[in-house]
């Protein structure tokens, strides 16, 4: 019962996050919302596991958390440097080859 209440809250939050992801004027707003959606998915997963009495699914929650982080950071790195991992700024570009 208590998990149902918490799940309801998380579902409401998930809906609001999706609204922001669809509305978001900039890509950063969408990214923020996507991050929140990932967090909500993790909480939903954990709470759902507890509600159905099989909380072993939590291992997957940890993986989701790490993946969510990777996705967000990949997109942000892209914004910052124009590529994944290489400084693409022409001013800073050095040619090691």
Q: Which of residues 44-73 bind another protein (CB under 8 A)?
A: 44-48, 50-52, 55-73
Instruction: Show the site string, 16-35: x = touches another protein by CB under 8 A, - = not.
Output: xxxxxxxxx-xxxxxxxxxx
Q: Is there a contact between 34 and 23 (Cβ–Cβ < 8 Å)?
A: no
Asked if 89 is part of the footprint of another protein (rule: CB under 8 A), the reply reads no
**Residue whose CB is less far from another protein, 59 or 92:** 59
Size of interface with another protein, in residues (CB under 8 A): 79
Q: What are phi and psi of 50, to 5 degrees?
A: -65, -40
How many of the other CB atoms lie within 10 Å of CB of 90? Answer: 7
> Residue 83 carries which DSSP code?
S
CB of residue 92 vs another protein: minimum separation in angstroms? 13
> Residue 86 carries which DSSP code?
S
Asked if 87 is part of the footprint of another protein (rule: CB under 8 A), the reply reads no
């Amino acid at each position: 019962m208590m998990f149902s209440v918490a799940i309801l809250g998380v579902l409401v939050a998930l809906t609001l996050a999706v609204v922001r992801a669809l509305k978001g004027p900039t890509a950063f707003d969408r990214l923020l919302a996507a991050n929140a959606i990932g967090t909500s998915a993790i909480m939903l997963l954990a709470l759902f596991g507890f509600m159905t009495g099989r909380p072993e699914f939590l291992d997957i929650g940890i993986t989701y958390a790490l993946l969510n982080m990777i996705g967000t950071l990949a997109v942000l790195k892209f914004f910052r440097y124009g590529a994944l991992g290489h400084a693409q700024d022409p001013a800073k570009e050095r040619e090691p080859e």
